[in-house]
Structure 1
């Protein structure tokens, strides 16, 4: 089991460090709401990870993998949501700081609105990506040693993966102090909104096109 756990840790760290929609949406939260926005978005992503881990442990992700209709429906929903986030980022470059504050979408917006939007964005970005569920159902059971309970061991390994993901996001938020202030200057923020919008749209198109 120790050898299996060591192999799992190495593989998980490499996977967690790979940039993807989850990381980008947390960076988007940092741009829009500073450390608080980034932390709440990361919390939403982690809640999505926990849901997928539980689904993999209970065998629900396997049902998703086996159901072409269910997989495609969730994939389309996730792609549409990523596209919507990307378009929102691109639209925000045309708004004044006052308009951004009124819509609850910036560092001057009410903290409650920022918290809700950031957390929901993180959660939906993760939970509407069926590739995450398929990843867990194909990745986690592969590390279950012979003779061990598949369900409980999968849940335990998933918990380790969630902790590693939380540590990664905590580090990302921790080093963003002065960087987040710099990112919220109007000129830099417009450029980052354009970049994040284009990349999110790219992720959405890729998710919709992949089989």
Structure 2
């Protein structure tokens, strides 16, 4: 099953704005609609009409996160109606509003319990704290390494370009999947005791 992992942002009411995200590095992320959640660029680009899928939402225990989760549900429903996509199964992982290591470990455990053999994995690293983004990345890589025939399909990051007055002037969505694949390659090179990883990486990047 195609599974999409995202954290729910903590912006205050009225601060979570829809953006027209322009795709960088992956035309499948292009869409004409505006959305508040970059993960939806991957959702609309990879889920086929009639195909069932799942969104895994990490929601902090706060009023803002609960309200913004409702926005995710609304925007997802709009895209599903327009694209002829079945509304996904939405799994919510509620987490405390703190940065304790024990909290992040518990979140990681809940995330990996959501994955199964054969899953096609998608993730968004835009929202959430830096440690939480790391947990999302680690959980997806764990599933790729451990689950049979699991694959990392697309990892997105939404970027807001601002002018000198800090006003938003453009919105981009980057396909960062290659970074996770690079991490896998580096790990394999280290396991093999490769003495000149830079040379190998340069050769791979030239392909």
Asked if these proteins are the same fold (TM beyond 0.5), I'd say no
Higher helix share: 1
Structure-2-length-normalised TM-score:
0.24
Q: Which has the higher contact order (CA 8 A, sep 6+)?
A: 1
Higher strand share: 2
